[in-house]
Structures are given as structure tokens and as C-alpha cells.
Amino acid sequence: MTPAGRAVLALSLVLAALAHGAEEEQRFDHRGALGLLVGGGIDFKREVKSGGETEEGRRALLETLVTFPMGMSGNEWTVGARTGFGGDSVDVAIAGGLRAYFGEERFKTYLSAEIALHVTPNVTAGPRLGFGIQYELFPVFGLYLGGAAEVTAGQGIRIAAAVVGGFQVRTYLFE
């Protein structure tokens, strides 16, 4: 092998080792991360309004949530809106709570516990509990798929379940 060939081979080996080391140093946890979740799905609901009228069925669902770090645990506080389209009215809810992650690798599971406040078509409030999986494509970008159930009361009683998938973008602003 010529000296130039040896130099190219040595440089290639050094670059490959550096690239492999950089891949191992990537982190996929959410510690210190400010994030934005955007997703869509289907909401299945049954609502008994205060006048006794019942509304039920499926609706297309759009959610946008901002996430804030909960200390350095990798868990997040969430706050945002969910909008259901379909039927005679548009359902709009504001929600906030906690999303707890399990795992620090690319693939992780999560549980969520939130308080939902529906502002249209009727004002109701109550707990929403959810679970799901998330896969981190990059340290600042992940895909998620999850389900949630809720029971809210106020100007009637609303029982609902949803399946939602989407993406999360993050920046480690609070680190």
C-alpha cells in the first residue's frame, strides 16, 4: 500500500471512530427540554348535556401542547389545546398536567395525567389519563402514538376516549 493510501485509510478509521462516538453521545431523554407536541387522531365521546340531550360519536381530533421540564427527571409539564371536529359542533378543550416518561433511549413509553377543561359546546372539567409510546428519531425530534380517556362534568357529563399520534420537537433551553 502506498503512503497516500495508508494516510487515507488511517484518516477513514479515525473519522469512523469519531462518528461512532458522536452517535453514542447523542441523548434522547427530555431533561431540561422545552417542547411542542402536535398531533391528530380520533375522539370517541358520549355527552349528556344539562338539558338531558345526548350527543355521541367520533370526531377528528387536533392537539397542540407545549411541554416544560419537570426538574431534571425527564418528565414534562404539559399545557395546550385539543379541538374535535365533526357533528353539529366543534369541541374545544384546554388541558394541562404531567407526562411521565419511562426509558432514556430512542424508544420509550409514557403516562399522562391531565386536567381537561372543555369550553365548547358545553363547559365541563375533569381528569384525563393517557398512555403511549414515543420513538426519538433525533435528540430534538420524536414521534408518538397514544390513547387517553376522560370523564368531565359541568354543564352535563362527558365521557370520552381518544387515539392520537403526532410529533414532538424539543430544544434543551432549560438545561
Backbone phi and psi for residue 17, each to the nearest 5 degrees, phi listed first: -65, -40
Q: Under a CB-based contact definition with an 8 Å cutoff, are residues 161 and 44 in contact?
A: yes
Tell me which of 14-28, 57-71, 123-137, 158-172 is least confident.
14-28
Report residue 86 as a C-alpha cell: 365533526
Q: How far is CA 37 from CA 31, 82, 114, in A?
A: 16, 11, 15
Residue linked to cell 370517541: 44
Q: Where are the alpha helices (DSSP H) in the chain?
A: 3-25
For the segment 25-54, what is each residue's pLDDT rounded down to a tens digit?
788 988 889 999 999 999 999 999 888 888
> For the chain, which domains are there?
34-171 (2.40.160.20)
- Count of other CB atoms within 10 angstroms of residue 2: 7
Amino acid (1-letter code) at residue 111: L
Q: Rounded to two decimals, what is the model's pTM?
A: 0.82
